Amino acid sequence: MQTATPAPRSRKPVYMVLGCTVFAAAAQIMMKYGATHVMPAVDFANPATFVPFLLALLTNYPLVLGYVLSAGNALLLILALRDGQLSTLYPIISLTFVWVNLLSIYLFGDHMNLWKAVGIVLVITGVAVLGKASETA
Amino acid sequence: MTVATPMSSVLLVITASVIGSFGAVYLKLGAAPRQKGLKYILNGRLLFGIALYIGSSIPFVMGVRHGELSVLYPMVSTGYVCTMLWSRIFFGEPITWPKLGALLIIVAGIVCINLGGR
């Protein structure tokens, strides 16, 4: 129940979701690496083809690491959602874009430009507004 | 890079985002009890939320297989818009001006990053 004058909420869930974005960005980069791995074909009518596919899946280390990082992301998100509002916490995940773009410059040789810089500033601004909104909402 | 991004990839990533937004709803439903202990942490709603979250990564991986990440990632913002709507419908969280404004700024930011990536 909402009281007449709600006490300011803790910022802890916001910081936890910020942690999620770091996990999510790392997971997405890993999944991109993993997705480029050549996988053996699967014939659903022939169960014998499952084994090499599963082996290839389990030894696709970037993909496996991507899933492990996603699990860490989900766990942290669950803990954050215990105390915070979904509507203020979930869009904070968009900060993942900022990390992915900055990492892509370093890892994939992408270039920084005015649009990207403006976009990054806008996303950070939006997340800051949400962080502020989460205190009173 | 002049690799075209197929429409199928765009649709797959949007599908993943919408599934993910429902995942967030079920994570919140399952995370709501503040009791300590494993039996409260592992409940059906939470497991369903995790399943949706993991499930959403399948169309995501299929989507990012072809096409540019800088084009495909902005499609994930569909999930944020959906989640704000679900928060209102399922949890009665008010959609306030700061929240709506922040969401618009974020979506604008993501579109700008997209434009920069082309």
- For A110-119, the pLDDT digits (tens) are 888 899 899 9
Check CB contact under 8 Å for B102 and A77. no
Q: Does A82 touch chain B (CB under 8 A)?
A: yes
Burial of A62 (0-12, 13-18, 19+ CB in 10 A): middle
Report the residue of A82, A87, A123 to disrupt the B interface, i.e. the one with the largest count of B CBs within 10 Å. Answer: A87
- For A8-54, the pLDDT digits (tens) are 677 888 999 999 999 999 998 998 888 888 878 878 888 888 888 88
Q: Which residues of B touch A9 (CB under 8 A)?
A: none
In a domain, B36, yes or no: yes
The angle subtended at Cα B73 by Cα B67 and Cα B77, nearest 5°, is 140
Q: What pTM value is reported for the model?
A: 0.76
* Domain carrying residue A110: 12-136
Q: What residue in B sits closest to A111 (Cα-Cα)?
A: B117
* Domain carrying residue B64: 7-117
CA distance A102 to B41: 35
Q: What is the ipTM of this complex?
A: 0.79
The angle subtended at Cα A105 by Cα A99 and Cα A106, nearest 5°, is 90
Give how many domains chain B has, as a whole number: 1
Distance of CA B110 to the CA centre of its chain: 13
Report the residue of B112, B114, B115 to disrupt the A interface, i.e. the one with the largest count of A CBs within 10 Å. Answer: B112
Give how many domains chain A has, as a whole number: 1
In a domain, B1, yes or no: no
In a domain, A122, yes or no: yes
Length of chain A counted residue by residue? 137
Decide: A137 and A83 in contact? Cβ < 8 Å: no
